[in-house]
Amino acid sequence: MSRVRITLGDQVVTAKLNDSRTARLITDALPFESTAQFWGDEVYFSIPVTAGEEDAQANVPSGTVAYWPPGKALCLFFGQKPYSPVNVVGQLDSDPNVLRQASEGQGVRVESA
């Protein structure tokens, strides 16, 4: 398992990634930057990883970190269920509600923690 730090504007969260193939691809691509987008209570952003579905889930709990194959995006859930099935790749370490303070269009940086 690896750990990542995700910076969205002034907000910083950390997450523990699992040992899935998709999580390893994400770890191998670190660090990377993107732009935050929102869909309900989910922040997502495109990342330089291409992966197919891997035990994709249609419902995930708040705090889940997931990869959305159709959008090649990393998703951070804080209340929203996925638009379509996602590959669960980890879990946030802290209260996911801090993500409510982030804004659409903010810069995002993901790096090893």
**Cis amide linkage into residue 31, ω under 30° from 0:** yes
In three-state secondary structure terms, 69 is: helix
Which domains are assigned to the chain? 2-102 (2.40.100.20)
Tokens of 43: 């922040």
In whole numbers, what is the pLDDT of the chain averaged over residues?
96
User: So what's the pLDDT on residue 80?
Assistant: 85
| Residue ranges with strand state E in 1-113 | 2-8, 11-17, 32-35, 37-38, 42-46, 64-68, 73-77, 87-92, 107-112
pLDDT at 28 over 90: yes
Tell me the pLDDT band of 1, cut-offs 50, 70 and 90: confident
What is the model's pTM? Answer: 0.96
What share of the chain in percent tops pLDDT 90?
A: 96
What tens digit of pLDDT does each residue of 57-80 get?
Answer: 999 999 999 999 999 999 999 998
In three-state secondary structure terms, 20 is: coil
What share of the chain in percent tops pLDDT 70?
A: 100
How far apart are the C-alpha atoms of 90 and 50, rounded to whole Å?
Answer: 17
